[in-house]
Amino acid sequence: MKMPVLILIVIILLVVFYLAVSDTPFNELIKLKEKANPQTENEIGNAAPQSEDVINEEDNEGSDFAESKQTIPVVGGCIEKQISYSMKNFATNSECESYDETCVQKKVDCSVEVKNLDYEVSDLFSVKIKIINEQTGQEFQSIIVEKNVSSRETESFEYSFIIEGEDADGDFNCIFSTEKVPVKEFCYS
């Protein structure tokens, strides 16, 4: 009985420590506020951020979330940040539609589900879908698919590519990346 309680306490302490040192939106707002107001108690002045101030940050590295650097303008004590989302059920299905000793026309179907994890924002997502030859790593085709995804909802982003000629005899894989993700304004006082 004592061992599970001890394990639970250790887990809670690790979570609290992680939240204290990680770049959660709350911690980012505190850092932004400190940067915008560098005054000490004895100083008087206006150190509010100007509209041309920017912050560079990396969002959600190593996850299924956006993995690119983003420049976020600071406007009147608020920042814009990408909303949270997830991508799942990545699928590649290919079928040879025409043979002449080898496959000469192949259809490659690509699909992925995008879930908007935000409780308020519903907006346009853009997903780049490309196909590559698994043996050579060569990219053959790509397209950007756009859809509105309502808050807390999931939408399927899909496209069918047609590959013709001697290249059609290869094995292909679909690669997905987000091109546009809705943003949300976070303000501090």
| Complete DSSP assignment for 98-166 | EEESEEEEEEEEEEEEEEE--SS--EEEEEEEEEEETTT--EEEEEEEEEEE-TT-EEEEEEEEEEESG
Same domain for 105 and 169: yes
- Domain of 169: which CATH number? 2.60.40.10
Same domain for 118 and 33: no
Question: Is 163 inside a domain boundary?
Answer: yes
Same domain for 27 and 114: no
Return the pLDDT at 67.
38
Lateral strand order in the sheet of 123-133:
139-149, 123-133, 172-180
Same domain for 167 and 122: yes
pLDDT digits (tens, 9 = 90+) for 115-165: 999 999 999 999 999 999 999 899 989 999 999 999 999 999 999 999 999
Task: Give, as one character, the DSSP assignment of residue 67.
Answer: -
Which residue range(s) make up the domain with 23? 1-48
Say if residue 12's pLDDT is above 80: no
Question: Is 56 inside a domain boundary?
Answer: no
Say if residue 53's pLDDT is above 50: no
User: Which of 109 and 16 is assigned the larger pLDDT?
Assistant: 109
Say if residue 93's pLDDT is above 90: yes
**Domains identified in the chain, total number:** 2
Same domain for 12 and 89: no
Same domain for 175 and 92: yes
Question: Is 72 inside a domain boundary?
Answer: no
